[in-house]
Structure 1
Amino acid sequence: MIFSFSATPDFDFLTRFAQYIQAPVRNDLLVIPERLGEGYIRKLSFNQEFKITLHRYTLQEDLIIKRNASGLGNELITIFFYSNEQALGIAFNDSPPVLFSQRDDSAIQVTSNDLSSTIRFPANHHVHYVVVAISPAYLTALLAIDNSNSTIRTITGSGNSFIFFESMAAETKLLLKNIAAVNMNDNLSHFYMQIKVQELLYLLFHQLAARESNVHQSINSADAERLLYIRNEMLNDLSVPPVLSELAQIAAMSETKLKQLFKQTFGDTIYNYYQQARMEEAAFMLKQGKRSVAEVGYELGFSNLSHFSRLFEKHYGLNPKRFSTQA
C-alpha cells in the first residue's frame, strides 16, 4: 500500500488517507477497516496552526507513506515521534527505505515541509507514532525563548530547509504511551491532550536547545538521503571505526560538508555518534547475558578491554561487569 501526498500547509492527512482506503471519518477518527487490518488514526486540532495526528494500527500489508515537497518553503514544521519495537524504514528522494536504527527503533524527526521523504511500515507489526504539525510563528510564541541556538532559530525561522534527528529518551516514550491511553470520551480530554503534546515539545526542544550553536548549512532531499545512508553504513559494523575520507567519498561530499551536515542533522560528530551507538550496542549485548564482558568488547572492536571498560563506565556510570549483573 503506497500513499503519496504533497506536504502543503492545508493538507489534511486524515481526510485524504480515509479517501485512499475508502473508509469513513467520524469525529476526526478513522477506524481501520477489517479488510486492511485493525487500529485507528485520530486527528486533534488545537488551532489552525497547531495540530496532531495519532497513528495506532496493524496492517495486513506494508504501508509506504511518500511525502512530496510542497515547494512553498518552511510554512509548516512537521515533528514525527516514532516509538516501536519494529524497525523504521526511512528514505529521501526515490530511494528504497532503509532501516533507521539497529536496536532502539525509536526516532524523533523534525523537518521543514519542503523536503521529500518516504517511510515504510512493515505488515503485521503494530505501528505507533505521533505527528505534530505546527507553524513556525506559533512554535516561536509557544517556546518564548529569548536567546535560542542556531538549531531552534533555523526551525522557527522563515524559508529554511532542515531535517534534524533526535534520540528518544525514556521520559518521552512514557509520555507517548500515556497520550495513547487517554480516554477521548472524557469532556476534558482535548484540553489534557494539548497540555501533553506541549510537554512532548518541551522535552524535544530541551534536547535541541542543548546542541552547539553553529551556522546552519542548507540541506536538500539528496543531502538528507546521503546522510542517512552514511549513518547506516557507519552503524552496520560497530567493530570498525568510521574513516571520514571513505565516508565522504561514499556520500559524494567534501569532508568538511559531510562533517558539518552530519553534526547539524544528528546533533553530534560522526565519531562521537559512532561511539554512542557502540556503547548502546554493548549495553544491549550485556543485558542479553549470552556473552562475557571480554566477548562483547572484542566483538565491538576493542583490543584493549581496559579502554572498553573505562569508556563504558563513562557512558553508563558502571563498569561493564557490574552493569551486566544488574541488567
Structure 2
Amino acid sequence: MIFSFNATQDFDFMTYFARHIGATVENDMMVIPLQLGDGFIRKLSFGPEFKVTLHHYLLKEDLIIKRNASGQGNELITIFFYSNEQPLGITYGTGSHIQFSERDESAIQVTSNDLDSTIRFPAGYMIHYMVIAISPAYLKNLIALQEHNTTIENITGSGNSFLFLEKMTAEIRLLQKNLGAVEIKNGLSYFYMHIKVQELLYLLFERLSKRESIPYQNINSADAARLLHIRNEVLSDLSTPPVLYELAGIAAMSETKLKQLFKQAFGDTIYNYFQQARMEEAAFLLKQGKRSVAEVGYELGFTNLSHFSRLFERHYGLKPKKYGSAR
C-alpha cells in the first residue's frame, strides 16, 4: 500500500490517510480497518501551527508513505520519533534505501518540509512512532531562546532547509511511550498532553542545543540522500575506520562539504560518529555475554586490546570486562 502526499502547512495526515484506506475518524482518532491490520492513529491539534500524530499499528501489508516537498519553501518543521527496534527503511529524494531503528543515531529526524522522503513500514510488526508538525515561528516563540544557538536558530529561522538527526534517549523513549498510552477523556487530559509534548520538544532541543556551533549550509533532498548513504557506509564495517577521501568520492562531494554537512546533520565528525557506534556495538556484544573482551575487541578491528579497554572506559566509565559482567 502506497500513500503519497504534499507536505503543505495545512495538510492533515490522518484525515487524508483515513480517506485513502476507507476508515472513519472519530474524536480525533482513526482505527485501522480489520482487513488491513490492527491499531490506530491519533491526532492532537494545539492550533493550526502545532499538530501531533501518534501511530500505533500492525499492518497485514507493507505501507509506503511518500512525502513530497511542498514547493513553497520551509513553512513547517517535521519531527519524527521512531521507537521500534525493528529497523525501518527511509529514503530521501532518489537516494538509496537506508535502514534505521531506535538503537541508532537517527531514530529522531528533524526536517524542513521541502525535502522529499519515503518511509517503508514492514508488514507483520507493531509500529510505534510520533510526528510533530510545527511552524518555525511557533517553535521559535515556544522555545523563547535567550542566548545565541546556531542549531536552534537554523531550525526556527525563515527559509532554511535542513535535516538533523538525533538518538532516541531512554528518557525520550519513556515519555513517548507514556504519551501513546494516555486516553483523551476530557479537557484536562488534552491539557496534560499539551504539556508533555512540549516536554518532549524540550528534551530534544536541549540535546540539539549542545551541538558545536558551525557555519550552516542549506540542504536539499539529494544532499540528505547522500548523507544517509555515507552514514550507512560508515556503519557497514565497524572494524575499519572510515577514509574521508573515499567517502567524499562516494558522496560526489568535496571533503570540506561532506565534513560540514555530516557534522551539521549528525552533530559530530565522521570519525567520532564511527567511534561512538563502535563503542555502542562493543557494549551490546559484551552484554550478550557470548564473546570475551578480546573477541569483541578483535571483531571491532582493535589490534591493541589495551587501547580498546581505555577507549571503552572513556565512553562508559567501566572497563570492558567489568561492564560485561555487570549484565
For the Cα contact (< 8 Å) 2:105–2:266, is it kept in 1?
no
Q: Is structure 2 residue 257 aligned with structure 1 residue 232?
A: no
1:192 maps to a residue whose letter is Y
* Deviation by residue 1:168-213 (Cα, 9 ceiling, x = unmatched): 1110011011111112224411101001100000000000100011
SS in 2 for 1:90: strand
CA RMSD in angstroms, aligned pairs only: 1.2
2:320 maps to a residue whose letter is P
For the Cα contact (< 8 Å) 2:91–2:119, is it kept in 1?
yes
Question: How far did 1:218 drift?
Answer: 1.3
**What is the match of residue 16 of structure 2?**
16
In structure 1, distance between residues paired with 2:82 and 2:91: 15
For the Cα contact (< 8 Å) 1:97–1:120, is it kept in 2?
no
**What is the match of residue 4 of structure 1?**
4
SS in 1 for 2:5: strand
Q: 1:187-206 residue pairs with structure 2 within 5 A?
A: 187-206=187-206
**What is the match of residue 128 of structure 2?**
128
**What is the match of residue 307 of structure 2?**
307
SS in 1 for 2:46: strand
**What is the match of residue 215 of structure 1?**
215
SS in 2 for 1:204: helix
**What is the match of residue 147 of structure 2?**
147
Question: How far did 1:290 drift?
Answer: 0.4
- The runs of 4+ residues in structure 1 deviating greater than 4 Å are 101-106
* Deviation by residue 1:254-304 (Cα, 9 ceiling, x = unmatched): 000000000000000000000000000000100111000000000000000
* Deviation by residue 1:93-151 (Cα, 9 ceiling, x = unmatched): 13453212595487110001101011111111011001001111111111011223211
**What is the match of residue 40 of structure 2?**
40
Equivalences, count: 327
In structure 2, distance between residues paired with 1:217 and 1:161: 8
Q: Is structure 2 residue 58 aligned with structure 1 residue 55?
A: no
TM-score (norm 2): 0.98
In structure 2, distance between residues paired with 1:252 and 1:312: 34
Q: 1:1-327 residue pairs with structure 2 within 5 A?
A: 1-101=1-101, 103-104=103-104, 107-327=107-327
For the Cα contact (< 8 Å) 1:76–1:134, is it kept in 2?
yes
SS in 2 for 1:188: helix
C-alpha spacing 1:69/1:87, structure 2 compared with 1 (3 Å): same
TM-score (norm 1): 0.98
Question: How far did 1:321 drift?
Answer: 0.2
Unaligned runs of 5+ in 1: none
In structure 2, distance between residues paired with 1:193 and 1:17: 23
SS in 1 for 2:107: strand
Unaligned runs of 5+ in 2: none
2:16 maps to a residue whose letter is R
For the Cα contact (< 8 Å) 1:149–1:212, is it kept in 2?
no
In structure 2, distance between residues paired with 1:234 and 1:101: 16
